[in-house]
Amino acid sequence: MPVHTQTNTLASDLAGHLPLAFGVSGPLATPLSSTARVAQLVQTALEAGIRLFDTAPLYGKGLGEERLGEALKSASSPLIMTKAGVHGGKIRDFAPAAIQDSVEQSLSRLKTDRIFLLWLHGPAAAELTDELLTVLQAMKTAGKVTHVGIAGRTDDVLAANSHDLFEAVMLPLNCSMSEDELKRVQICKAAGRTVFAIETLTNIRRSGPPTLGSLWRKARKLSHMDMTENPREHTADEAIRWAFSEGGADVMASSTTNRGRLRHNAALVRAMTLENSW
């Protein structure tokens, strides 16, 4: 497929906003965290200057979206991101009608009439049919979706570079990744796509007692039978600085159950922005 280098209107819409998104995912989309606790974290994020929020129908079978929508119902102009294509039970369905239905359900759960950025949740390149692209464009035209991107972990994410409709990619980006993995980021940036980094705080040196979020990530690692232990050479602050200064991140999306860590991350990213240190 040819690479389409585009003028990115998403980048313009993000200008002036803190390049940090708070995710309602993991334990925040389960009974392990209360609805009140999630609301506190979202309020902390807002007070810290965060306007970007991320979730998905997959997270808690819609509970993540419901909680985020409730927490943001009185917020002033939040920028809400969610996903489509994979839902409860990890069932994949990228049929145009299924994506359209997923968006309608997300709008209802999120208590909003517009999704700022809709991510297709890990589509294979072959699933990006002309019919699907037509439906996505129609939702943009109708004002239900402002921007569209692709979230993924493999080279399939590069399909975003072949269609002008896709303005962004969301993919793992951390300092323990291989050169081949980092190459995906470079290719997407060269094509004018905005890069949203996830899992930036993977394999970092942690201090203090474990949080619910860190235990959740450890459990996920074990459930995927990944028993390897990579060297933890970086602190959280170093990993965040690396993602922006060397990794190629335009925005970092992360989640935490710790309000202090949330405030700290926001302050760090704001300071980096003011320093223009990447």
CATH of the domain at 51: 3.20.20.100
Domain containing 111: what range?
9-276
Q: Tell me how many domains the chain contains.
A: 1
Tokens 């009439």 correspond to 113
pTM (two decimals): 0.90
**Structure confidence at residue 275 (pLDDT):** 85
Confidence band for 270, pLDDT divided at 50, 70 and 90: very high
Cβ–Cβ under 8 Å, residues 63 and 30 = yes
Given a cut of 70, is residue 44 above it in pLDDT?
yes
Report residue 56 as tokens. 């998905």
Given a cut of 80, is residue 223 above it in pLDDT?
no
Report the 10 Å Cβ neighbour count for 205: 12
Task: Average the pLDDT over each of 53-62, 96-105, 232-241 and give the range with the smallest value.
Answer: 232-241
Report residue 19 as tokens. 């390049």
2 occurs within a structural domain? no
177 occurs within a structural domain? yes
SS3 assignment, position 169? strand
Confidence band for 127, pLDDT divided at 50, 70 and 90: very high
**Structure confidence at residue 88 (pLDDT):** 77
Strand partners, 276: none
**Structure confidence at residue 117 (pLDDT):** 99
Residue range 65-98, pLDDT digits in tens: 999 999 999 999 999 999 999 987 788 999 999 9
Confidence band for 170, pLDDT divided at 50, 70 and 90: very high
**Structure confidence at residue 227 (pLDDT):** 46
Over the chain, what is the mean pLDDT?
Answer: 91
Given a cut of 90, is residue 276 above it in pLDDT?
no
Q: What is the mean pLDDT of residues 205-216?
A: 64
**Structure confidence at residue 33 (pLDDT):** 97
3 occurs within a structural domain? no
Alpha helices by DSSP H, listed for 150-201, are: 179-190
Q: What is the mean pLDDT of residues 173-184?
A: 93
What are φ and ψ of residue 150, in 5° steps?
Answer: -120, 130
Beta strand pairing call for 86-87 and 91-92:
antiparallel
201 occurs within a structural domain? yes
Q: What is the mean pLDDT of residues 95-110?
A: 98
1 occurs within a structural domain? no
Length of the chain, please? 278
Given a cut of 90, is residue 28 above it in pLDDT?
yes
Half-sphere exposure of 201 (CA within 13 A, CB side): 18
Task: Average the pLDDT over each of 49-63, 171-185, 218-232 and give the range with the smallest value.
Answer: 218-232
Given a cut of 50, is residue 175 above it in pLDDT?
yes
Q: What is the mean pLDDT of residues 242-260?
A: 97
Given a cut of 50, is residue 165 above it in pLDDT?
yes
